[in-house]
Amino acid sequence: MKISTFCFLLYFYTSSSFAIMDGVVPPLGHPLSSGTVRLVGALANGMKGDCTGVLIDRDLLLTAAHCIPSYVVSGEVEFLPMISGVFPKDFYRRTVLNWRLHPEFKDGETEESYNNDIALVRFEGEIPAGNRPFLLPGATLNRGASLMIAGFGSIGVGNEVGRGVFRVATYPEGSLLPNTNEFIISVDQPKIGICGGDSGGPLLVDQGQGLQVIGIVSTTSNVTPDNRPLPEDSCHGVANFVSVYPKLDWISEAGKELRLEKNREQP
């Protein structure tokens, strides 16, 4: 089984756009827009790359650890507009101050190596008007809940079509696969799902208290749940999300450390 990851390392800025497979462009002020952001990184070689991020506090967001290779030197957070109006040029942009990768993350091409594919990012300034964080999960997943996704990734044609367009989707009922790994939430996505550029984005549920981010987009595999092979560049196999619930203690401690830590120098 081949594991596919989508990160700064592989996906650089182009003039094309990307979008979640079979997703829709939401209207202004959509609830999934409020806490989903685009994370843009400047690389040491002068290139730029992007991933999706998930706002969880006034100055903190989650993303995938593989989205932040060692040669990322700086970054920006781009928020989605939630209210109409004319605003200053950088009203929806914030500078990344520092970040922390999960200490047990290992960048490798196996499912086990991505059990800890999660990073915490701190940014400068206040959240723009109308935007607000998603809730962290208060308990393990209710397997009957509707699963929602959001991101800026491709529509699944060789990871080359649709980049940069924000879209949202809801997985069909029955998409959640049996839980064989407490650190990973796996979802069958033969039609609707995540693809290149969506890494770091949210898997969301609403269990009565508001939108909770229960998973962070990590990888897809090019096989079906019953192990039938798919084309190597296909995203229509199994989507794997890092489960947020087992990482709550680490998120809390890493957030405290980032707020005490000296900011990274901007190039």
Q: Which domains does the chain have, with CATH numbers?
A: 31-133+249-260 (2.40.10.10)
**How far is C-alpha 27 from the geometric centre of its chain's CA atoms?**
20
105-152 pLDDT per residue, tens: 987 766 667 899 999 999 999 999 999 999 999 877 777 789 999 999
**Mean pLDDT taken over the chain:** 85
Mean pLDDT of the region 255-264: 86
227-238 pLDDT per residue, tens: 888 777 778 889
pLDDT of 34 higher than 90: yes
152-162 pLDDT per residue, tens: 987 765 555 66
Determine contact, residues 245/78, Cβ cutoff 8 Å: no
